[in-house]
Each structure stands twice: as structure tokens, then as C-alpha cells.
Amino acid sequence: MNNKSASARRRVIVIGAGMGGLVTALLIAARGYEVTVFEKAARSGGKLRQVMVDGHAIDSGPTVFTMRWVFDAILAQAGANLDDHLDLTRAEILARHSWEDGSTFDLNADKQATADAIGHFAGPEEAKGYLAFCQRTAEVFQSLDNSFLRNSSPSPLGLARNAGLSGLVGLARIKPFTTLWRVIESYFRDPRLRQLFGRYATYCGSSPFEAPGPLMLIAHVEQAGVWLVEGGMIRVANMLEQLAKDRGAIFSYGADVAEIVMTNGAATGVRLASGELVQADAVVFNGDPGALFGGMLGDQAVSAVAPWRPKQRSLSALTWSIAGRTEGFALSRHTVFFSGDYRSEFTDILRQHRLPVDPTIYVCAQDRDAAADSQGRAGGDERLLLLVNAPARADEVPLSEAEIASCKRRVTERLARAGLNIEAQDRKRSVTTPQDFARMFPGSGGALYGKASQGWAASFERPRARSSINGLYLTGGAVHPGPGVPMAALSGSHAAQAVVEDLTSTATFHATATPGGTSTRSAKMARMH
């Protein structure tokens, strides 16, 4: 450790303990900086949350763990090993899918097994199309991994430059000017397979009919491994929090930040809702950018990011966390019950600003192990998360109780047509609406993925780690490189890198820390007067 006192070291405030904030705090603390995380909720995780239902802890946010290499690299930077902190099991079945015509299909973790299954399901030409699609998605991922995902400040010209002149043809092959749906159509004729692979756009909170073609890389990411986390996804947040604490980071819960304090045009601290002022050399905001340009963190922080209109928001969701008994349809860990008219579903949500008349339903059966013959809890309730996409207009067009009840009825009827019945008393069901998400994540209007991916330039328009205000940095799923657990983690890595680079360039000394060491620094930060 540096021999200077703790009070002489550079101090960093992180607002929010979501995935991006946790990674930022861990990596900055591991470099020896003094870090305090202010989180208004009672615990870390952000959208990575659990809901307690009748004594059952149910994952009610992200439910899949992918791109484990991102976390391997982050933990390595902090002097830790992922396998020492998480128990991970690779899923055999990525997802089970059901259509109104009664057909079902399992997307297997093994590419050839999936191709063989597609051949039986939809014919040999579709199987060939799938293998060609897999090859193309791998190429897209390779083109974008270092030049976009791991690049903290990508641009279209920079992407082409990084690809090199010989790579321009390959760059064109990622289909940046083509919608994901059109890309899918070029590989599959079967409308069911088009729905299956087009659904990847919703992972970014977007419509497959408007999202850009490069989102096809999500198919490759899943093929590279979907992992089940022992104890639930919340363990990922708990792990990062504990590692950050072990390296000296301080977490303050129930601490609502009311304002980002500015001095001479630069962020120099925060004012809590209690009135307490806390100074810092850098401030990292892990929240929806809408809170910034909406003035929710003070008038001076409004210019930190470019605003977007409500119609540019990503999808929200209506979810039910259930502890109940199931019978009939054989659920896998992840099961999707598709709507009969996919295009109309997104028209309802994005044009009519209403819950879809015919929704696609995602069911996560959390007591099943994602094997082909997976079973739920024998003789007891199993933990379920049901999700349908919803409009993110909670601040303008909030859903009524009647609309929610009608959607619940349609969901129940659709599942029954597939042969699935869920028995659960009201006390064993907990509903989360777009209004609830809007309250949990101020400035979002209920949007769960920031700005929607609409058009070829959308991915380059997301806010970056460095905001327009000196000393104020951004992280989270609404920030580059985008939504999802590993992407938000990457954004945290980008933010940490930016903070360290900027503070190091102006520091009179360079603080270091022994990886894994626990700091004895004071729990209090210097106060502004």
C-alpha cells in the first residue's frame, strides 16, 4: 500500500450498486482508491433482484449468466478467481419453445445437436440455414468483440479502421444497415424459427423488426455457454459486493443521492437526500441516464448526457413471481410460449402503448436444471418467473388495474392452451408492473434497457463512460456497450478504466493495493463545508 494516509488518497463516489456500479467499485478499490457506494435500496443488485414470495426467493430480473469470460477477466484484474466464488453449471438446454400450433422445440447447447433437431423439426434446408447462421454470428462476434464491446469509445469509422482494409467485406457482413428480422429471414423460411431467433432483439429491449442486424451476435453468445448460478443470480451481485468490500470499498444502503454537486463545471461530490454533502475526486453514476437529463440529480447534471424521447425507450415488462405447482406442459429451466402474430405484438407495445393482445410469455422455472428431462420440486411449490413485454410509458400512460388483470387472464389462457396449468394462491404471487420499475429506476419510465436499439446507429448513440461533465462517469445497462448482465459489467470496467486514467493523470502519487487485501481506512469520507 502507498505510505500516504487514507485521507490523502483519491476518493471516488459510486451512485448505485447495480452490476455496473459493483464492477466499477471493485476495480477502482482494487487499484487503491477510496471508494464509497451510495445505494438507495436496501441491498445491491439493481435489476439483478430477488423477490420473496411465501418464503421463496425468486430471481425476478435477469435469469441467465453468459459471457463468463467477461467476469473471469474482471475478477483477474482484482486478484480473484471466478470459480472460487460462484458455483456454475452449464445448461444443456438453452431454452424450450412452444407455439400455438402445439409444436415445441429445444434449442440445445450443442450446435450439431440443435442442427439435427431443426432438421427433424423443420426440414434439412432449415438445418443448413441454422449452421450457416451460426457461422455468421460467430463472425459478427469476432468483428465486434474487441472493436466495439471492449472498446470504451467505439465509432463507425473506428470500427472500420480496426477491421482493416481487408476486413471491410467482413464488416459489411455484420449487416449494420439491415434489421435483425430481415437477417433472420435470409437464413430461415420457417416462421417459427424466425420468431425463435428474432426474439434475441428483446434481450436488448427492442423489436426485431427495428433492431439492427448485428444483434445476431447474441445467438453466438448463448451458444458459447449459458450458465446456471447456484443460489440464484443475486449471488453474482453478492460476490462483487464482497470482493469490493474486501478491497476497502464502503457500501452505504438506504442512501438516496439527491444531487450531484458541481464546482467550476466539474463533479466534485454528492448531496444526499438527508442534506449531507460528501466530496470526491470523481463521481460514477450507475442509473438510468433519464434521471440525469430529467433533472433528478440536480440542474447542473442535466447536460451530462444527450436526452432521448419516451418513444425511443426500450421495452418494459409485466412480471409475476410465483411459488406454485405446475402440471401438464413439461417446462425446461427457460421456456418461451410464442404469440401467434409477432409483428402485432410489437405494434401493440411500441405504437399503441398497450400490453399486447397476444403476448409472448417467458417462464423461468428456477428449480429445474435446464436438462432435457428436467423436473421441478417433487411434491412442493416450484419457483417461477413469468414475463411479458410491456410499454415503457409508466410516467405518461400508466397501466390500469383492469389492463393488468386482462393480461393475466390472457397469459393464463395461453399457457392452458399449451397444456400448462399453474396452481398458486394469491399470497404466492407477486406482480411487478412498469410503474413499479419506474419507481425502482427513476428516470426510466419503466424501461429496462435504456434507449431502444432502433436503426444502425443506435449502438453508437448510447452514453459512454465519460459524460459531458468533467469528473462525472457513467455505467450500467443503459450505457455502452448495452444491456444484459455481462454488458453492464463491461460498462463498469470501462468506467473504472476512465476514472483511473483521468485521476492518475492529475495525481501527485499513484496509489496501489494488494489484490484481496482489506483496507482499514475510515468508514467516513471527508465532508464538504
Looking at every residue in the chain, the average pLDDT score rounds to 90
Per-residue confidence band for 175, with pLDDT thresholds at 50, 70 and 90:
low
Find residue 38's DSSP bridge partners. Answer: 15, 252
User: What pLDDT is recorded for position 505?
Assistant: 81
Per-residue confidence band for 380, with pLDDT thresholds at 50, 70 and 90:
confident
Quick check: 469 and 301 in contact, CB under 8 A? yes
Per-residue confidence band for 23, with pLDDT thresholds at 50, 70 and 90:
very high
- At 291-346, the pLDDT tens digits run 999 999 999 999 999 999 999 999 999 999 999 999 999 999 999 999 999 999 99
- Higher pLDDT residue, 100 or 511? 100
**Residue 496 in domain:** yes
Per-residue confidence band for 458, with pLDDT thresholds at 50, 70 and 90:
confident
Domains: count for the chain: 3
Find, among 112, 325, 318, 107, the residue nearest to 222 by Cα. 107
**Residue 348 in domain:** yes
**Residue 109 in domain:** no
294 and 347 housed in the same domain:
no
Decide which of 224, 242, 263 is a domain's last residue. Answer: 224
Q: What share of the chain is helix, strand, coil (3-state, %, to 5)?
A: 40, 20, 40
User: What pLDDT is recorded for position 150?
Assistant: 84
Residues 267, 281: Cα–Cα separation, whole Å? 8
Decide which of 224, 246, 261 is a domain's last residue. Answer: 224
- Higher pLDDT residue, 140 or 485? 485
18 and 73 housed in the same domain:
yes
- pLDDT of 167 > 80? The answer is no
Per-residue confidence band for 56, with pLDDT thresholds at 50, 70 and 90:
very high
Tell whether the torsion through CA atoms of 142, 491, 22 and 389 is positive or negative: negative
**Residue 500 in domain:** yes
- CATH code at position 460: 3.50.50.60
- At 323-332, the pLDDT tens digits run 999 999 999 9
- pLDDT of 8 > 80? The answer is no
317 and 305 housed in the same domain:
no
**Residue 435 in domain:** yes
123 and 60 housed in the same domain:
no
In the chain, % of residues over pLDDT 90? 81
- Higher pLDDT residue, 509 or 494? 494
**Residue range 452-464: average pLDDT?**
81
**Residue 492 in domain:** yes
- pLDDT of 430 > 70? The answer is yes
422 and 336 housed in the same domain:
yes
- At 102-117, the pLDDT tens digits run 999 999 999 999 999 9
**Residue 89 in domain:** no
User: What pLDDT is recorded for position 145?
Assistant: 85
Per-residue confidence band for 456, with pLDDT thresholds at 50, 70 and 90:
low
User: What pLDDT is recorded for position 524?
Assistant: 32
Helix/strand/coil for 226: strand
Of 68-72, 199-203, 371-375, 461-465, least confident by mean pLDDT is: 371-375
Helix/strand/coil for 218: helix
- pLDDT of 526 > 50? The answer is no
Quick check: 515 and 80 in contact, CB under 8 A? yes
- pLDDT of 5 > 50? The answer is no
Decide which of 192, 224, 256 is a domain's last residue. Answer: 224
**Residue 56 in domain:** yes
User: What pLDDT is recorded for position 211?
Assistant: 94
Residues 48, 493: Cα–Cα separation, whole Å? 18
Domain range holding 328? 311-440
SS (H, E, C) 499-512: HHHHHHHHCCCCCC
User: What pLDDT is recorded for position 375?
Assistant: 73
Sequence letter at residue 77: Q
**Residue range 42-46: average pLDDT?**
97
Per-residue confidence band for 179, with pLDDT thresholds at 50, 70 and 90:
very high
